[in-house]
Amino acid sequence: MKAKTKFLILTTLVLGVALVACDTQAKRTERARTLYNKGVELRAQRLSEEAAECFLQALDLLGHGEKNAESLLLEGQLKDNLGAMYNKHGLFDDALKMHREAIADFKQLGDSIDLMGAYRNSGRVANALEQFAQAKQFYDSAFCIATLLNDEAMLNDLNLELGRDYYLPTGNYAKAIDCVSRAIQGGLEDNDLDIANMTLGVLYYYTDDYAKAKTHLNEALRSERAGLKMSVYQTLYAIAYNEGDLAQAMEYQDLFTQYMMQSDQEHSSENLQRLKAEYELKAQKSEMELLLRNRSLKLWLIIAAAVIALMVIVLIVRKKVSDHKVAVAQFQTQVERDQNRIHELVSDMENLIRTNDELRRDRQTLSQKDLLMTSKIMGRNKIYATAQALAEQVTSDSLSFELSDDDWADFISLTDLVYDGFSQRLLGLYPKLNKWDVRICCLSKNGFSNQVISILLDTQTESYYKRKTRIKQMKMNLVDDNRTFEEIVNAI
């Protein structure tokens, strides 16, 4: 009996070691490379969910064992691609984390080309989070590498993005004009050229150089994209209105409305697909994290079983000289005790997982109830109802609204009711805020987008960005605060 038990345990250990030895690092890297290539193809076909699943599976394969140059490069490429996909679907925090880890991998390898791309992607995500100082650092790093490599195409793209996404929102119009002009001179083509001309038109409008603004805006109208034309006509309307040409301004307003509706129609199905993709990406990420936890649990159980088996073997060897019956009884008692302990540990872990799932469902239920109660209270207000209609669909009917001071006073009162005296706390912290500043903060507190708020204020989206920056820097005295305007408001 003793010999058979020892033989079975040794055989199990040998088989386990053999299985682990067969799954080498080189084979895992090869399988990960295949999954990466498949994910790149799926991403080119805009199949985001399938591509993300391939990338996550490949990262899981590379997560076991030591890294070599090949596996480290592949890991960096996988993380950079995942970061770009997360950024596209609005998962900005996850995207920035992935790009940062990719940067670390490429630095370790000294891979300048991939490092340049990772810095540029990090700058894009930081801009989306309105972390402009950090975005500038990322873009500067990418620009230095592109200059050393004499990569003209990358330099043109970086100049365009710096002008449009960094200098324009931060109000440095002269620097923005210089960057975008250099990008055009470098040889931009097709859609990038149209975007550059539109950006220059907006910049010259902000600097009151209407002649140059109209020249570049008319160049941008060659684009076939309805969304770009909508932005161009919005700026042309503002120029005509400021110049006193009301007939031309009305014509541009009609064209703006026409292309805005066309853009909504073109992108309605795309928005649905984007929302679906965001949900699938989040679900895949959660599923992969759960899979990794389960695998870690199984690994620890295997290790524990192996340790127990070794302890049993040592116990058998040490007890050979003792009484046969006593040795067998002690062995059986030890095995039963260890098995019961393992069952208890597994049961405790299963209970913990179930408890976590129940807590997560409870939090989701409470969050839904809070949102429903807020909607019921605020829905009685004309401003809140108008903003909700604009958020759902911008049409000529939803754009036809008139808001009185009484409507705004009622809106702020209801906001104070829902958010426990928000406006009083806001003014207590920042007494320099005027009534329109308080209204903007209340709209932001209720979660409305920049586009909806700019329409309610009857201003352009770019002008609203400038106004938020002025409120934060001049009225709130938060120049060195790296948080976004929305994060500051929501923290009050």
- The three-state DSSP-derived secondary structure of 138-201 is HHHHHHHHHHHHCCHHHHHHHHHHHHHHHHHHHCCHHHHHHHHHHHHHCCCCHHHHHHHHHHHH
Contact 198, 167 (CB under 8 A): no
First to last CA, the chain: 72
Lowest mean pLDDT among 88-102, 258-272, 402-416: 258-272
What pLDDT score was predicted for residue 450? 92
Rg (CA), the chain: 30
Higher per-residue pLDDT: 360 or 305: 305
What pLDDT score was predicted for residue 351? 66
Lowest mean pLDDT among 12-16, 242-246, 351-355: 12-16
Contact 381, 414 (CB under 8 A): yes
Q: Which residue in the block uniquely carries the two structure tokens 């984007």? A: 274
CA distance readout (Å), 397 to 135, 229, 401: 39, 21, 8
Kindly state the DSSP code that residue 224 receives in the 8-state scheme: -
Domain locations in the chain? 23-150, 341-375, 382-490
Q: Look at residues 376, 364, 384, 369 and name the one whose alpha carbon lies nearest to residue 446.
A: 384
* pLDDT above 90: residue 318: no
Assigned architecture for domain 23-150: Alpha Horseshoe (1.25)
pLDDT in tens, 433-462: 999 999 999 999 999 999 999 999 988 989
* pLDDT above 70: residue 15: no
pTM for the model stands at 0.50
Which tokens hold the place of 207? 């600097």
Contact 267, 409 (CB under 8 A): no
